[in-house]
Chains A and B, each alone.
Chain A
Amino acid sequence: MVDFIKTVKDFFAFKEPKEIEQFVLKEDENEKPKPEEKSDKKQKPKQKESFISKLTSNNHQKEKEKEDKAEDEKSVGISKDINENLEHIKKVYNIPDNGDLVIREFEIVAKDKSLNAFIILFDGMSDSTIINSSILQPLMLLSNVEVKGKENDLALYIRNHLIPHNQVKMVEKISDIIDEVNFGGSGLFIDGIDKAYACDTKGWLQRSVDRPNTEIVIRGPQEAFTEGMRVNTSLIRKTLKDKNLIVENFKIGKRSQTPCSLLYLKDIANESLVDEARRRLENINVDFIFDSGELEQFLEDSTFLPAPQILATERPDRTSNLITQGKLAVLMHGSPFALIMPITNSDLLHSPEDAYVRFPFSNLFRVVRIIAVLLSLLLPGFYIAITNYHHEMIPTDLLIAIEAAREAVPFPSVMEILMMEFAFELIREAGVRIPGPIGPTLGIIGALILGQAAVAANIVSPILIIVVAVTGIGSFAVPNFALAFSFRILRFVYIILAALAGFLGITLGIFVHGIMLVSAKSFGVPFMAPFGPRTSDGIADQFLRSPIWNQEKRPDYLNVKNQKKQPEISRKWTQKEKKK
């Protein structure tokens, strides 16, 4: 009870707003972050900690100690004594319990000395042919061959002459080896050297580059990202052949150490934006992270806004295109989706195909899509508002048809539409979860039989079935899955508001929804730019798309370093005759 009173009090009482680090993309692109701001940023994680500490003040201390211990373990150096290393590795991986770790012990001869060595790797994660031919074979066989090496340091000598593998790192900490091994590499320890070799021998099985599943186009590239991050970065590099394309590496997840990359064009992307992205990526405190969907939730500005603030795409061409606009992309290992930020509302309404088809077609797409958005969001609400409040605006013939159809229906129309929308959501959800072969059957059962039978049984009126079906089709025409999702939720809100007060309710909905959208920011960029805050340029490709030779500038709201995309006249051939 006391708790309840407290929550009520909290709800009504005013509390001083907590200082939350707010990032705003500044107008001045050349403005470099001042030192004070930097210190601010550094302080920020601490503040967060202290905020958390209030919530979990008891556990915190212990956790901190634990963390410190873990830190210590990680920074253990590599001993010269190979047995010590072996013991350590065994302890770390709980060897008798852990079945798939391979520890292969062998001897090598280097500089006329026979040395004990062992290599560790995870079975199945590493490519054994590479290990055999590029690491074990040379070490065990070639070490006998006389090699003219000037190096006195044994470790360097081995690296430079005995291991012909292409990606070998010499490390001094066991944790580095462990990270590498966890990620499909192999670790080579040699007696008498306080260094170890981390070899990249990734060789797990993964899906090959496939056709996109969710963003299907008719005209345009037919490649999609896969789960392997390096494959994905290579796909982007392949599309975007630019020396200024930076792929910055990050590791996210304290324990999972999932590799991530931040991609941007150095001479285009706004520096403070890149800094902000870097800061957010570096300051994610989590144990494990598996998919970019999780990462998105950690990165986004507002959790409660229905609209997505980060765009997920599985298409390398789209990612490259957005990067060239001055946006940033984040790729994560294990996820076939790239995260694009910052985005604005209109990015979510675009399909990659818009750029590939001719000017009139893409504008037809766009118009259809905007109508689809309006339909999927507002149509049921409008239907309820009109049939419950504003009868005079229905054409008399239609009114009589609706009235006749509804005559035998026992439910109020709000109930009717909520029921049907729910049934539709049910079919949709079941359709996604259902095992492949039964899918079409469910569609037929759901759509045909349910709808038909509901009408026949006078549970819903046929006009309502049309409304629900059009709404459903409309929501499928929204190109971004996450956006369509937000509409699916908001549709119910609009239905309820319309049932409450007709068009006035819908207006309230649109007003509050709009205010939320315009106040939202995606990485410091206003979500409704360039309409919300009117910016001067970049409207060439927003709601409608102007001809491709007319899109001269990058969006102004991104404050890119180089706003010009192409010169005034990009079709030089149109000028030819004059020059002659």
Chain B
Amino acid sequence: MSTHNHLIKPEAEKEYNILNLGPTHPATHGIFQNILKMDGEIIMHAEPTVGYIHRAFEKIAEYRPYNQITPLTDRLNYCSSPINNMGWHMTVEKLIGCEVPKRADYLRVIIMELSRIADHVICTTIIGQDTGATTGFLYFFQMREKIYEIFEEVCGARLTTNIGRVGGMERDFSEVAWAKLKIFMVEFPKFLKEFQSLIERNRIFMDRTIDCGPITGERALAYGFTGPNLRAAGIDYDVRVANPFSSYQDFDFSIPIGSNGDTYDRFMVRIQEMWESVSIIKQALDKMPTGEFHADVPEFYLPNKEDVYSKMEALIYHFKIVMGEMDVPKGEVYHSVEGGNGELGFYLISDGNRSPFRLHFRRPCFIYYQAYPEMITGGLLSDAILTMSSMNVIAGELDA
């Protein structure tokens, strides 16, 4: 043994392997680049690059009327676009000081919880897929399809939904949408249970994910983590409870938290949140108030077509809204919603013109990605991939 000692280089002369993980790599779920300095399979240093799909949404938003910013928000976290849409609508409502009727709030809650489920379905199945459990991924993914069918029935689109309007929903749920929602509420718990029993207590899965890419609650807070990733680290911060929006105070639900902040905790927190979302939707269905599905704000909410053809005011408002000439007050607001991935905030400054003076999106993925090098250094390559998928970093939201 000692005869070969001269072959082992001292620490200072050690050579490392530089591995370019990305920008296109099957496991990165989007376009990120990671330049890894590797000692065998161990990551010694990681250098992430952002900006591969930067589309300058914040700048574009400065040139667009308020209603036309909604489609931009679709493309942030495209796994749960309805939450982004509605977060933006609520921000504008806050600026113009508009009260939304309860029914609109409840419809919004249903849509938002559905998209939270869709988001978590993607994340949890992708964690499974990245450990090699393809069946869980493809089997459970059907449920996202069912959710998209409901979205399709409500707004006509599936992925980039552009759902709802400033002031409420663009229309009430149709009969078909209610029926589909009812079927979903019966089917989904079964599928979720099945998926859980397939993966959750699997020894290989647990070995792979426990202690993989951990982060302490303290560090997570220091970075500005929010959402499931912060809750997995043991801190019970949820915008829905801390700062209720859209009548979330009416619902009874708990916030699942983890203890280690590792991949397994992030997985379990998301699984439990899906159960909570199911219960929220159930409560919303039970307590669904009657009434209008949008606020009475004619200068912002597009009037009915019949009215446009028969009433002068409606025609004027229709013209002004379509042309983007809305009278928005001057002001500065921050509003945040609990997105699928964490606190999604909108910081809006209006100077009274047709488009925002400045709009900033507080994008949780951007924050998670800053902690990524710290979380993977010293781990194995496989852990790095799992950490990425368990944080559910979506490239569209990361780069905006």
Partners in one complex: no
